[in-house]
């Protein structure tokens, strides 16, 4: 899908040669993504090989990461700005135009998408996705699996609970509990 294209482009920009892609859709076997051959299902990927999960959905990335034993590599696009003090978990990806400020931590298999910003001392758990143009102010905590939608914002010191969603354009000005969805300005829980 489209997310795989961005991951492949980022890997190449980082100087990696992308040898193959794997997808569980049998109709994609033999297809090409940006010239990269799809060589079968995820179970066909060689164990222990350097890899990045190019799955945009948080829950899908979590299931795949727990299923396979790979050398998960973190990727930071050269057109991103990531301070030297930032800790990157295995399989984390930071796309072009993103900024991650000092003393922040990104958990494993987290996506910091195009043009997103994460300010100082944020804690982003594993399997999170900070969508394009989303912004986290300083000291924000995203627990595991959080999705921050396109152009959304989170003010200083706010925590979004595990597997919660902040909808596109929403602004979280107070904590949001786990497994809930909040939308609007200011964001209100809708489910």
Cα-based distances in Å from 130 to 20, 41, 45, 58: 26, 27, 27, 11
Query: Among 164, 97, 93, 101, which residue's Cα sits nearest to residue 137?
Result: 101
Strand order in the sheet with 99-100: 81-82, 99-100, 117-118, 135-136, 153-154, 171-172
135 given a catalytic annotation: no
* Contact indicator for 173, 153 with CB cutoff of 8 Å: no
The DSSP annotation for 124-172 comes to E-TT-EE-TT-EE-TT-EE-TT-EE-TT-EE-TT-EE-TT-EE-TT-EE
Catalytic position from the list 3, 120, 129, 135: 120
Task: For residue 50, give the H/E element and its range.
Answer: strand 50-51
Give percent helix, percent strand, percent coil of the chain, each to the nearest 5: 15, 25, 60
Give catalytic residue positions.
120
């Amino acid at each position: 899908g489209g997310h795989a294209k961005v991951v492949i482009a980022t890997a190449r920009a980082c100087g990696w040669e992308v040898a193959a892609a794997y997808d569980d859709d049998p109709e994609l076997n033999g297809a090409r993504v940006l010239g990269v051959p799809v060589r079968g299902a995820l179970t066909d990927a060689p164990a222990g090989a350097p890899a990045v999960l190019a799955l945009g959905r948080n829950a899908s990335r979590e299931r795949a990461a727990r299923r396979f034993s790979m050398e998960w590599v973190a990727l930071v696009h050269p057109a991103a700005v990531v301070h030297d003090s930032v800790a990157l978990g295995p399989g984390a990806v930071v796309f072009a135009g993103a900024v991650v400020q000092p003393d922040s931590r990104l958990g494993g298999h987290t996506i910091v998408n195009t043009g997103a910003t994460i300010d100082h001392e944020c804690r982003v758990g594993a399997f999170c996705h900070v969508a394009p143009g989303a912004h986290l102010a300083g000291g924000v905590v995203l627990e595991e699996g959080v999705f921050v939608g396109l152009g959304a914002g989170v003010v200083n010191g706010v925590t979004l609970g595990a597997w919660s969603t902040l909808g596109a354009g929403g602004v979280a000005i107070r904590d949001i509990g786990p497994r809930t969805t909040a939308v609007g300005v200011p964001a209100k829980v809708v489910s």
